[in-house]
Amino acid sequence: MGGTEEQPVSAVVVRRRLRGDERFAVTGASGWLGRTALDLLAGALGAPAFAERVVGYASARKSVRLRSGLDVPLRPLAELSRSDPPPTHILHFAYQTRDRAAVLGLGPYVVANLEITTTVLDAVQRHRPEGVLVASSGAVYAADGGFAVDLTQNPYGSLKFQEEMILRRAAGDVGARSVVARVFSVAGAYMTKPELYVLGDLVLRALAGASLVLRSRDPVYRSYCAAADVVALGLVCLLGESVPADVVFDSGGKVVEVGELAERVRAVLGLPHLAIERSFLSGGAADRYVGDTDQMAVLASRYGLRLQSLDEQIIDTAAFLGQEPGDGPNC
């Protein structure tokens, strides 16, 4: 590990809040947010302490490699409840992602995700941790401004909302602090299946020297923040003093239309010659997947975390996708 001056500011901010005896269980550790959490904890703790105090869990026994070159062995998620010594903090990122619903079918998809939630619930009840961080999704919001409750129309969002409620209640029952991050659009290293995300697809095309193709004819708005910032803020809220026992925030960032995003990608990556291909806007309704961006900004300012700019996120995403493939789904 490098010295403090070489590490991301987020790792330094997290380190300042560590007592020195915390033990972390990270679920979904082979996925995007899970690997991001491992990377952040490795930087905050240093290699020897990280190996002793952080255990990653995935769908099966495997290992993942971090950008530092550190190989991290992962245990099957089913072993979480039997962890010895027990974790003082559970960071929960495991889930069958939205695209898996069409692959598995509604019934198996629901069962698979309920099994994950039940496994984590059991671990909270058995281990009685001090804190539980849950990565939720902007999909928990319904179009009418309420919450997703229609399991057939929005299984991912509905199940995520149920998981939030279950694990927040479970944490409260054992006296643990709970932090829920409702993630909208994120960027940065460890992005899995980048071709499924607008930013990932644009960066892949740019790296290949291809035209930046936008398929939507209508306006599409997204707000981007770094995945590392979401995880870091979640950890800071989990570990900090004078923090409420139950924290929920939307991921934030600059709201940008995807046409503007394509322009930023080619400008930031120094490829102004690349064409942006998009049909004329049809005048239809805008696709807006944006949360309350002020929530994250306010919390980050309160706890001393500087959030990455959109340009920094594009650079970090390109640096990762230019040298490593993704490592599978977040489970």
Q: What gap in Å lies between CA 189 and CA 199, rounded to an integer?
A: 12
> For every one of its 331 residues, what pLDDT tens digit does the chain have, with 9 covering 90 and above?
333 334 567 888 899 999 999 999 999 999 999 999 999 999 999 989 999 999 999 999 999 999 999 999 999 999 999 999 999 999 999 999 998 998 999 999 999 999 999 999 999 999 999 999 999 999 999 988 899 999 999 999 999 999 999 999 999 999 999 999 999 999 999 999 999 999 999 999 999 999 999 988 899 999 999 999 999 999 999 998 878 899 999 999 989 999 999 999 999 999 999 999 998 777 788 999 999 999 999 999 999 999 999 999 999 999 999 985 444 333 3
Task: Please report the pLDDT score of residue 143 as a whole number.
Answer: 87
Q: What gap in Å lies between CA 25 and CA 18, rounded to an integer?
A: 15
User: Which of 112, 210, 187, 222 shows the shortest CA–CA distance to 156?
Assistant: 112
Is 107 strand, coil or helix? Answer: helix
The neighbouring-strand residues paired with 147 are 141
Residue 120 tokens, joined: 């984590």
Residue entry with tokens 């239309």? 257
Task: Please report the pLDDT score of residue 244 as a whole number.
Answer: 83
Q: What gap in Å lies between CA 307 and CA 208, rounded to an integer?
A: 28
Q: Provide CB contacts within 8 A for 77, sequence distance 6+.
A: 27, 57, 58, 59, 94, 116, 119, 331
Instruction: Return the percent helix, strand and coil in the chain, to nearest 5.
Output: 45, 20, 35
Q: What is the pTM of this model?
A: 0.93
Q: What domains can you pick out in the chain, each with its CATH number?
A: 4-186+225-252+292-307 (3.40.50.720)
